[in-house]
Amino acid sequence: MGSLGGKSDYESVRDARISENLARMEMLGLRRCAGELSAIASESASASAAASRRGGIVGTTPRRTPKPPRVLTPLRRSGRLVAIAAAAPAGSASGPRRRSARLNGQMTEHKALPLKGSLSKFAAEEAEEEEEEEEQEEKKAMVVIDKERVRILQERRCDSKGRGAVYDPVLGICCHFCRQKKLCGEEGCKRCGEGNLNQPCIGKTDCSSCHSSYGILCRACLKVRYGEDMDEVRKNKNWMCPHCIEEKGTKKFWICNSSICLKKRKLSPTGIAIYDAREQGYESVAHLLMDKLKCRAF
């Protein structure tokens, strides 16, 4: 590339206009005024900087709001520490030190350990005593049942005999399948009808083998999910829940079909499958699942 030559036309025009503007400002006295203003501005800036270094305030600088004086309140201490400080001698700064009874010269009594070989018996006796104490505490803290509330609920309790129509977190017993803690719809139930917590609910099943929550089913779930009748189950003192039946192997492929237990088996929950089961000729959902598991096994 070649070197740049002289000034271009644009630069020549620009320099000419600058010269004209400077001459016009000199004629009007603007350059002198601009110099005086710049001098005044520099003097005020230097003066304010010096004043700020000295801690003074110059011109219209806004004043800082003074901080309110701090009021010292007495320290808050617990009643135990105040009592210890009051009981401490005058020379001590922080009250008496806490020391063990042995270091303070006091005699301590220790329970003798049982003889070798009798530790299990001793532990069993201790456990029995603790259980008795817990039972006494539970009796003291027994839930107070509002009889008037129970009487009002009786008007709606028997509206649905299958699952019950009234939810009650105290008297109601949770069904393993539908998870509804409702009062049963049985007319002769002393627990749900009279509010007696010491009586069993005759509208819920009770497994004769495990007596656990797995064996608690309401009338509707018992019929729909397993095809059994509550009145017949109540008469059968040896009735067992599906978990115990499977564990003992008395009825092959008879399993609990609640959503919780099916998920534990990595099986998808059936949902409301009673209509499909009856359309296919099965008595309940459990019978449908039993047939499917048999086909899968073979």
User: Would you say 219 and 203 are in contact if contact means Cβ atoms under 8 Å apart?
Assistant: yes
Nearest to 193 by CA among 146, 162, 150: 150
Domain assignment present for 34: no
Domain assignment present for 249: yes
Q: What is the pLDDT of residues 59-72, one digit of tens each?
A: 455 667 777 777 66
Mean pLDDT to the nearest integer, 148-170? 69
In the predicted model, is pLDDT for residue 166 greater than 50?
Answer: yes
User: Residue 59: what are its φ and ψ, rounded to 5°?
Assistant: 70, -140
- The crossing angle, in degrees rounded to 10, of helices 30-54 and 9-28 is 80
Tokens of 276: 């499909």
What whole-number distance in Å separates Cα of residue 118 and Cα of residue 172? 44
Domain assignment present for 236: yes
Q: What is the pLDDT of residues 33-53, one digit of tens each?
A: 888 888 888 888 777 777 666
Domain assignment present for 258: yes
Measured between alpha carbons, how far apart are the two ends of the chain, in Å?
Answer: 92
Domain assignment present for 235: yes
Domain count, the chain: 1
The boundaries of the domain holding residue 271 are 147-297
Residue 90's pLDDT is 58
Domain assignment present for 82: no
What does each C-alpha distance from 279 to 225, 253, 283, 284, 288 come to in angstroms?
15, 21, 10, 11, 11
Residue 280's pLDDT is 93
Q: pLDDT grade, residue 78 (50/70/90)?
A: confident
Residue 97's pLDDT is 61
Domain assignment present for 61: no
Higher pLDDT pick, 51 / 194: 194
Higher pLDDT pick, 99 / 70: 70
What whole-number distance in Å separates Cα of residue 155 and Cα of residue 161? 13
